[in-house]
Amino acid sequence: MEEKYKKGQISLDFDVPISDYFHRHNSSMFMEDLSMSRYRIKEDFLSISIESENQDEIADFLSNQVTTFKYRNRWRNRLDLNEELLELLETISDKLVNEGNCVIEKIFDENGSLTRLKVIRGEVKIGNKKVIQVIPKNIAKELKSKTKISIPKSKCFILEFPKEICSIKDYKNILDQMLKIDSKDPMFSVLNPSNLSKTKGYDAMKHRENLDIILRRLTRKISWHHREQYSSGDKFSYYYSTLRSLKFKRTKLQMLNNIFEFIEQIVNELFPEANLKIAYEKTIGDIDRIIENYKKGEFPHELHMQIIREYL
């Protein structure tokens, strides 16, 4: 029997602790802005085509046989393939943004038939032949489990953070460094006084400005706008903030395209006759032309409003 059929489920299910937003001010905003909420996708520009005549069968599998550990809408009276695909997209996006990868385990029965898919919980490290699910020590102790669970790569669908944007190593470093910055963020010092606020001559506003500069350097490859386009722009120029915002939309388009390809891979492997194709009308080439025109000064206000309406 092939290695991928050795067992049913290998990965371990456990509740992932909810992050404390109070202590993750910047990183929480960053991941929220980078993630793909299904409600942010402009469906007028979304194209989903499929050749299979059994669309309800595919929708039923995605609805009932894919464990995502997220709340799933069940108010609909009928199966809707587009809705199921958008919910799967949101799940993959959240995992990709929070962990730098999304690994989905294929669950086979004793006859080698694939019966379910399950998003692997927590941190997952990608090796040459195996993926390693890292179990937090306190959870491993409670569940009487090992802290590292090895799963054959052949038993998984794997998506990593787009290398066109940055390496997964760089992305995880961004998350780690941002958490360290959050621990020193003076934003909530009034409600949560730190030792710094008691230091003579300490200037919380100056501290905040320095952190803003550090954060922009840290997220340069991602081009996160830090929501600066919604502020007064007194610290950074309007040109810089707008250019950064446009480049961030390019980042999100790249991520969206990679997630589309990942979903196509999953569905087309499970249902070979499906030939699923997902596309977004707005392309990388489109946003690249807009960025170049902006650099040349060809960027009317009406175009800016159009981009806000049409892009992610």
Number of structural domains the chain divides into: 1
The pLDDT value given to residue 71: 53
Query: What pLDDT band is residue 141 in, cutting at 50, 70 and 90?
Result: very high
CA dist 288 to 243, 250, 284, 295, Å? Answer: 11, 8, 6, 11
The answer, yes or no, to whether residue 232 has pLDDT greater than 60, is: no
The pLDDT value given to residue 239: 83
Query: What pLDDT band is residue 217 in, cutting at 50, 70 and 90?
Result: very high
Higher pLDDT pick, 308 / 238 = 238
The pLDDT value given to residue 21: 46
The pLDDT value given to residue 145: 92
Residue 122 lies in a domain: no
103 and 96 Cβ atoms separated by less than 8 Å: no
233 and 277 Cβ atoms separated by less than 8 Å: no
Residue-averaged pLDDT of the chain: 84
User: Angle, nearest 10°, between helix axes 168-182 and 25-34?
Assistant: 140
Question: What tens digit of pLDDT does each residue of 34-63 get?
Answer: 998 877 787 778 899 998 888 889 999 998
**Which tokens in the block code for residue 121?**
């919980």
In 171-261, which ranges are E strands? none
211 and 224 Cβ atoms separated by less than 8 Å: no
Residue 161 lies in a domain: no
Residue 242 lies in a domain: yes
3-17, 126-140, 158-172, 182-196, range with the lowest pLDDT: 182-196
The pLDDT value given to residue 280: 92
Query: What pLDDT band is residue 189 in, cutting at 50, 70 and 90?
Result: very low
Amino acid sitting at position 25: H
Residue 238 lies in a domain: yes
Task: Give the domain extent around 212.
Answer: 168-253+281-311
d(CA 107, CA 94): 22
Q: Closest by alpha carbon to 64, among 47, 76, 53?
A: 76
Residue 23 lies in a domain: no
25 and 182 Cβ atoms separated by less than 8 Å: yes
Residue 248 lies in a domain: yes
Residue 290 lies in a domain: yes
Q: Which residues contact 193 (CB under 8 A, 6 or more apart)?
A: none
1-5, 139-143, 240-244, 284-288, range with the lowest pLDDT: 1-5
Residue 3 lies in a domain: no
Amino acid sitting at position 178: M
d(CA 226, CA 223): 9
Question: What tens digit of pLDDT does each residue of 75-104 get?
Answer: 555 668 888 899 899 999 999 999 999 999
The pLDDT value given to residue 192: 52
**Which tokens in the block code for residue 10?**
């290998």
